[in-house]
Structure 1
């Protein structure tokens, strides 16, 4: 193998730095490939006509730059920086197999949008200073105006800027609401099948959850009224846009009935609109119909990137002081750096572009899903999650365990049932968990095959 000898004859400055720069360029251009051995110092000093000390200092400089690594008794090699980065950024906890359990937006063009926005920020000293400083819970004027304008356009309703609070995502919003507006042992009404982490949050906070019966159109108004009379709750938690876990949506007439009942019994509605809903299926939210009794929970974690832990609340003005006090007690204020990134994406079109990309990819994945599991319910919204009923004698728990042994991870219905609410035999899968359509297809085939085997018995 030919030994690589750099040319430093036309370089100015200290010879060790000229040599280091020449080798850096060779590494960056892949002329010196990963794991390639550099020439021994004595041989390189002889070939270049420099001292061994010059080569030693050049190699030390390259090591400081993170480009090479010495191996005792073997020599000096070009470092595999990509592998090192992958190890550095590898999750502490991960699982093998096909993950159909995690609900997250696919990473499509978001990395490019992040790179662009960070470059823009790097040229704005005023913005840099602002996003690194301390503030009150109210945040920064420009950030709040940006969110106000975006929400007014998106929801097609005027939003008073004073009704907005930034949070660290949907889960943080729910924690603030629970801490502010309820007390231990108090009753909160929820859908019989409910977002699992809200159940967990209420258990941790010692709140009593009472399930309201569900059908294909959402919670049943008559059962809601019965529980309002019996328990006199202050809060009702709903996912009206796209129910978690079943994927159904509350229709317009039922929304009005729910609002009428909540007004009559002085119940505040927590409208959780965090889950991604395709543009074609978005309805007017409850907060636009009944702003005086609705606390709207929104987040960019499901609409842009899972690692973007930024969300917001739209609340009645009467609750602003209470919620802001809790926010200050909880975390003082939300990172203006994270909010600034969101606001830039909201104004430069990135958020809208990613929304369309996700919708297109999600549509393709639903077509794939429908090949193996034809739709049984027209009320189901084509979001990230799909609800799969199971034949007897399967239960969600037993089937989830069976699939896990085959490397397929799903969510069983038991995770979402509140109290003694009847647990259907079903599983929830996320079409966006797998990174590729081929991986998703493999997972769907295995699920389909396992269900077929049970039916044959």
Structure 2
């Protein structure tokens, strides 16, 4: 059987990156199906007439980008994209009561917000201000919506003035606007070693370098952040201090204070993703409250109201606000006034706070189901939030475990898809309790996972 040979005749740049780009294209076009075993890097180097160091570096970069997975003693294989949120089929985002049980999506529990949104849309449709909401808006027009954002940020534990609030089209758009506004190609962006995968895709598109900050059982390790600051002059550090995905860890007040102090001292922008913050009671003070001149705080209504209501808010130091507004203008011209108006009314009349409480209560009940079915020895006790992090028993590989669950019609996420360095990813899985509307389906899915956890992995899946 012929070995895979990348076409390096076109393009420019380092050869190892041209190999990776050729690999990515062949995977996308179906010429390299998931599970395909690639030739050893030395054999590929011989066939291409290049240095083995070049092909070794290419394979390492492809593993980092989650294109490949390496199995010690077995070889290097094309990864499946089934569980990769950056490349997944959008159809799998749809909620149904048939087909595979989907425990891979970190979306809010459905069913609470529809009647409230219907009410507000009716009020807008029959009220006097509809015409202006259908026209272009200026910064002056946004003052009302910024004030609603200020109220929502206060609900998230952050006290800011209205002139520091920037409305965006959801949290992901907010993060992209921050990166576009404040970082240049070649700048170094740090993130937690296990992180929100789309951020890495954004960084790659913007030509940013990335670095992984070490994590332990209590979250991101401040000493690792400090070491990066001394060694490489990072421009920004993206992190999720509350109910971190995938690990569920909430960073302590002490670690937050240390990270804020390090960022202030080294002039590093902290990008604090707080989309899960409203789901946690009694959370520590936000980083943006500790380091207001260094931190950009990102929040949205996607986890508490509805994912389709694409509204979020940034809180930023005043000196950075103009650049963020320009970034919003460049990407979408303006945050859609209609959706902003719906969100603003829900915030102002207290509905969003009620919806947050409903999400918290229901999530807590579902987390108790996880504890009951999987056992407290298997799952760390986290009573809040939409997801759990499950380190796998010895011998299981996360991709093999995920494939076995998929065979039994249950979708989960393997830990490797969140890893900045996939080769160093723990053998663990993330289970989301909120995507399935029907709790009976959630229970069946958890029971299937519990059954797989009781199995002994086959010899092909044993860690080598």
Q: 1:103 aligns with which of 102, 106, 119?
A: 106
How many angstroms apart in 2 are the aligned matches of 1:278 and 1:324? 28
Deviation at 1:147? 2.1
Residues 16-66 of structure 1: per-residue CA shift (max 9 Å, x gap): xxxxxxxxxxxxxxxxxxxxxxxxxxxxxxxxxxxxxxxxxxxxxxxxxxx
Paired residues of 2:145 and 2:167 also in contact (CA < 8 A)? no
Please state whether the residue corresponding to 2:281 is helix, strand or coil: helix
How many angstroms apart in 2 are the aligned matches of 1:392 and 1:156? 42
Residues 124-160 of structure 1: per-residue CA shift (max 9 Å, x gap): 12x1112111013564222222222343354262x11
Q: 1:152 aligns with which of 144, 151, 154?
A: 154
Paired residues of 1:276 and 1:384 also in contact (CA < 8 A)? no
How many angstroms apart in 2 are the aligned matches of 1:373 and 1:281? 26
Please state whether the residue corresponding to 1:155 is helix, strand or coil: coil
Paired residues of 1:242 and 1:277 also in contact (CA < 8 A)? no
Please state whether the residue corresponding to 2:424 is helix, strand or coil: coil
Please state whether the residue corresponding to 2:444 is helix, strand or coil: helix
Residues 147-182 of structure 1: per-residue CA shift (max 9 Å, x gap): 22343354262x111111100001101111111111
Match of 2:411 in 1: 409
How many angstroms apart in 2 are the aligned matches of 1:174 and 1:139? 23
How many angstroms apart in 1 are the aligned matches of 2:91 and 2:399? 26
After the TM superposition, which residues 221-232 of structure 1 pair with which residues of structure 2 at under 5 Å, given as runs?
Answer: 221-232=222-233
After the TM superposition, which residues 39-188 of structure 1 pair with which residues of structure 2 at under 5 Å, given as runs?
Answer: 96-125=99-128, 127-136=129-138, 139-152=141-154, 154-155=156-157, 157=159, 159-188=160-189
How many angstroms apart in 2 are the aligned matches of 1:421 and 1:321? 40
Residues 94-143 of structure 1: per-residue CA shift (max 9 Å, x gap): 59310001111112331110221122122212x11121110135642222
Paired residues of 2:300 and 2:312 also in contact (CA < 8 A)? yes
Match of 1:340 in 2: 341
Deviation at 1:330? 1.3
1:327 matched to 2:328? yes
Paired residues of 2:242 and 2:250 also in contact (CA < 8 A)? yes
Deviation at 1:375? 3.5
Match of 2:83 in 1: none
Let me know the Cα RMSD of the aligned residues: 2.0
Paired residues of 1:167 and 1:311 also in contact (CA < 8 A)? yes
Paired residues of 1:137 and 1:334 also in contact (CA < 8 A)? no
Match of 2:310 in 1: 309
Cα–Cα, structure 1 residues 375 and 130, in superposed 2: closer, same or farther, change >3 Å?
A: farther
Please state whether the residue corresponding to 2:191 is helix, strand or coil: strand
Please state whether the residue corresponding to 1:280 is helix, strand or coil: coil
Q: 1:441 aligns with which of 435, 443, 455?
A: 443
Paired residues of 2:367 and 2:383 also in contact (CA < 8 A)? no
Segment drifting more, 366-375 vs 92-101:
92-101
Deviation at 1:372? 2.0
Cα–Cα, structure 1 residues 434 and 92, in superposed 2: closer, same or farther, change >3 Å?
A: closer
Segment drifting more, 177-186 vs 247-256:
177-186
How many angstroms apart in 2 are the aligned matches of 1:92 and 1:410? 16
Q: 1:428 aligns with which of 427, 430, 436?
A: 430
How many angstroms apart in 1 are the aligned matches of 2:413 and 2:458? 24
Q: Deviating runs (4+, > 6 A) in structure 1?
A: none
Match of 1:236 in 2: 237
Paired residues of 1:237 and 1:269 also in contact (CA < 8 A)? yes
Paired residues of 2:260 and 2:291 also in contact (CA < 8 A)? yes
How many angstroms apart in 1 are the aligned matches of 2:269 and 2:409? 42
Residues 369-425 of structure 1: per-residue CA shift (max 9 Å, x gap): 001233457674621011011113212212111211111111111101103562111
Please state whether the residue corresponding to 2:389 is helix, strand or coil: strand
Match of 1:385 in 2: 387
Q: Which has the larger radius of gyration?
A: 1
Segment drifting more, 414-423 vs 330-339:
414-423
Cα–Cα, structure 1 residues 395 and 254, in superposed 2: closer, same or farther, change >3 Å?
A: same
Paired residues of 2:288 and 2:295 also in contact (CA < 8 A)? yes
- TM-score, reference length from structure 1: 0.76
How many angstroms apart in 2 are the aligned matches of 1:92 and 1:362? 24
